[in-house]
Amino acid sequence: MSQTWLVVPAAGQGRRMGADKPKQYLPLADEQPVLAHTLARLYIAFPTARLVLCLDVDDGWFSPHWVPFADWQRVSGGNERMDSVLNALHAMAAENDDIVLVHDVARPCVTQGDLLALHQAASSHAAGALLAMPVADTMKRADAQCLSKQTEPREGLWHALTPQGFRFGLLRRALETARQQQTMVTDEASAVEALGEYPQLVRGRRDNLKITHPDDLALAVAIMAAQEAHDSGRPLTIEPQATGL
């Protein structure tokens, strides 16, 4: 059986948050940072996976106490996401058929069900797979002055989420090709697509929030509380002062 690897890019500065530290180190409900919550979610689904954590070389916030995995390694992050992931792939002692799941550190609300569904799809589909959700809203294309220029048809459009999962050999070849061609890719699926491959879209939950702006922290706390209440079967109660809602 192939080994499962988890790559978590966590070298970003999160400047859009306007905080005094990178967003992955901002606290959530129990004062544990976003990074700790994200790694905990991954561990629940894949306790025997091997983790590669991409951190800024000058990161002074990280603590290994937040890592629940027994088998993990730290690598230096790059200037862009694709650079960090490629650094991780180059550092891994993986086989070509090993499954590599790449997950945003700023998505602490991903559920075990979605993680396992994505892993199954990535294992069974040669071109890999990614969590995604169909576009539900009317899509507008803006001009340079931020005026609504036209309405785009939303049929067939999906929001890409993470994790995204691929066989090690395919993902490494895709990202190395993108680097050689000086093509900037914003997710792993786009690099694989550039090789002429078609990753499988796996419908994910809409509460797989990516924390990007300050208000997202309170929303993540509310989502996690709702998930916990649903799993335990108890009524949902949220302390307003804890969430900022």
**Cα dihedral sign, 161-162-167-172:** positive
Q: Report long-range pairs for 65-70 (Cβ below 8 Å, ≥24 apart).
A: 66/32, 66/33, 66/35, 66/36, 66/39, 67/39, 68/39, 68/40, 68/43, 69/6, 69/39, 69/43
Which pLDDT score, from 0 to 100, does residue 239 have? 53
Both structure tokens of 21: 């530290």
Which pLDDT score, from 0 to 100, does residue 17 have? 73
Which pLDDT score, from 0 to 100, does residue 19 have? 74
Cβ 74 vs Cβ 55: under 8 Å: yes
Which pLDDT score, from 0 to 100, does residue 14 have? 65
Residues 139-178 pLDDT 10s: 999 999 999 999 999 999 999 999 999 999 999 999 999 9
**Cα 134 to Cα 196: distance, rounded to the nearest angstrom:** 22
Q: What is the percent of the chain where pLDDT is above 90?
A: 85
Q: Mean of the pLDDT values across residues 62-66?
A: 97
Does the pLDDT at position 30 exceed 90? no
Which pLDDT score, from 0 to 100, does residue 224 have? 95
| Fold annotation for 4-148+158-243 | Spore Coat Polysaccharide Biosynthesis Protein SpsA; Chain A (3.90.550)
pTM over the 0.75 mark: yes
| CB burial of residue 57 (10 Å; 0-12, 13-18, 19+) | exposed
- Burial call 20-54: b when 16+ CB within 10 Å, e when fewer: eebbbbbebbeeebbbbbbbebbbebbeebbbbbb
Question: What DSSP character marks residue 185?
Answer: -
Strands 72-76 and 99-102: unpaired
Q: Using the structure block, give the residue that is written with the tokens 């544990």.
A: 32
Return phi, psi of residue 9, to 5°: -70, 125
More confident site: 4 or 244: 4
Residues 171-209 pLDDT 10s: 999 999 999 999 999 999 999 999 999 999 999 999 999
